[in-house]
Structure 1
């Protein structure tokens, strides 16, 4: 009984520490690419959050449990907000890939092919890029990098402390700007192809007004878009993974 009495305080501290880490980890896991997708069952997400908690908790300095109920509520809200902020920052890279696929599809007249065949309606090019990007991210150790990110986040966003609203809003705006910049960069080959196609089509129409250039050019732009997707996908995905790795390594660092 004496040994049990001595063990109970340690057990309470361990449970509280695990719960405190779980709050932030669960919020990040719900937004994490591949692990937090809408198609992943909630039970699997819960198991993944618990697994990440077991990995991260030993590397985090324990936080003293608040006594007052209001302090506990504020602590829970603070940790969930910190996790959601980081999770949304990672999720923006999926948005960038989705936006790049949409831009590429619209540029090559392929935006209506299987456009609404999933949870988030998007062109087929977007699905191809997202599935390829998720597979590549997991293959390159996304789970390990995510655990390192959570551990690193406690240096910038300590437990139980609110980040200043001005700092968080400025950081969020910068991440959104980077996501759209990255999306346009990834879709740049398709935009260039679209411009060249329309210029050539206009020149042909000017030289031969009787020719139905739209019927002649439609198969060309479709075939060219598919061929360009085949050729440029490895480079697009490698650039995307490198950008996400940079964010995971230092989410609050300067944007390259």
Structure 2
């Protein structure tokens, strides 16, 4: 092994790979179940080799005992999973928006396989999740992931104690913001549904003999989806701006 790399270099590479591999396991797009594990591992190895000259100086020295080595590796895996979980959890904003739109357009019963969540969900929710992942790569937001991997070694340095309280507070804040954003993204359809239901109820009271349900049900679907389609451009723009802001929290460490 000494002919190719010293034991210290192998140790540093293993630590970097542990964090990078854990992050890629959770990242949107790359960490999905339909991506072959060999592709994820190969990408993690390549990124680890690229980042090694940049972050090797801040890594701890090779421990003398096996227990210490295992402890450091587990710590880096936990840090990687924490970072990846934060970046993935913000995608729940699109899932929330899709569920609200489906309920307001009476399409909540239309279930389909959601490849982003590996479980059934509403059709609109699955569409928005795929749209969000596409926007991340189409707008080169995934480049911020690479910068965030470098910045994470300054924000959460391996030599410093792991502060789980800060991560918990940030995770709660991220989930709260994602839920609020989901409601905001579905606001046009919510406003339409409120006005439409009030108008339907008024017509039903004024004309009791008129079968309002048979007229309101198809109109609710057609008009609701029309409003959703018209607001789709703004929805995608607002989401990707907020997501880039979250990714820049980690990328800011690299810029600093």
Shift in Å at residue 47 of structure 1?
A: 1.5
The residue aligned with 2:163 is 164
The residue aligned with 1:94 is 91
Q: Distance in 2 between matches of 1:11 and 1:69?
A: 17
The residue aligned with 2:113 is 117
The residue aligned with 1:198 is 197
Q: Distance in 1 between matches of 2:155 and 2:162?
A: 9
Which SS does the other structure have where 1:117 is aligned? strand
The residue aligned with 1:50 is 45
Distance 1:162 1:84, change over 3 A: farther
Unaligned runs of at least 5 residues, structure 1:
none
The residue aligned with 2:226 is 227
Check whether the contact 1:29–1:45 (CA below 8 A) recurs between aligned residues: yes
Q: How does 1:228-243 map to 2 (within 5 A)?
A: 228-243=227-242
**Which shows bigger deviation, 52-61 or 175-184?**
52-61
1:27 is aligned to 2:22: yes
1:245 is aligned to 2:241: no
Q: How big is each residue's C-alpha offset from its partner over 1:62-108, in whole Å with a ceiling of 9 and x where there is no partner?
A: 32122222211221121111111110100012222111111111111
TM-score normalised by the chain length of structure 2? 0.90
Unaligned runs of at least 5 residues, structure 2:
none
Check whether the contact 2:147–2:250 (CA below 8 A) recurs between aligned residues: no
Pairs aligned (count): 247
Give structure 1 regions of 4+ aligned residues with deviation exceeding 4 angstroms: none
TM-score normalised by the chain length of structure 1? 0.90
Q: Distance in 1 between matches of 2:113 and 2:146?
A: 33
Q: Distance in 1 between matches of 2:162 and 2:223?
A: 48
Check whether the contact 1:56–1:147 (CA below 8 A) recurs between aligned residues: no
Q: Distance in 1 between matches of 2:192 and 2:49?
A: 49
Shift in Å at residue 166 of structure 1?
A: 2.2
1:104 is aligned to 2:101: yes
